[in-house]
Structure 1
């Protein structure tokens, strides 16, 4: 039996869930970032899925 996987891009930093996504290279040149990261401001897994 395989363990449950988390949705792509969600990771736990300390006790707060974060979202992280790679930016396409065409957009990265414009915004100057290759990765976008955002705190979801919750320590609970369930609300982070919304």
Structure 2
């Protein structure tokens, strides 16, 4: 995932401790690390159960 756009059906495969590689919008370099925690950022009333 990069650029702040997510393929939502694939989010279920992400888990704490998983390796990640992301690139922020407007940046050319990649950041690497691991998933520390998972939380929703915005309330979406049409996507219940997340």
Tell me the TM-score range normalised by the shorter chain. Answer: under 0.3
- Larger Rg, first or second structure (1 or 2): 1
User: What TM-score comes out, normalization by structure 2 length?
Assistant: 0.24
Structure (1/2) with the larger strand percentage? 1
Structure (1/2) with the larger helix percentage? 1
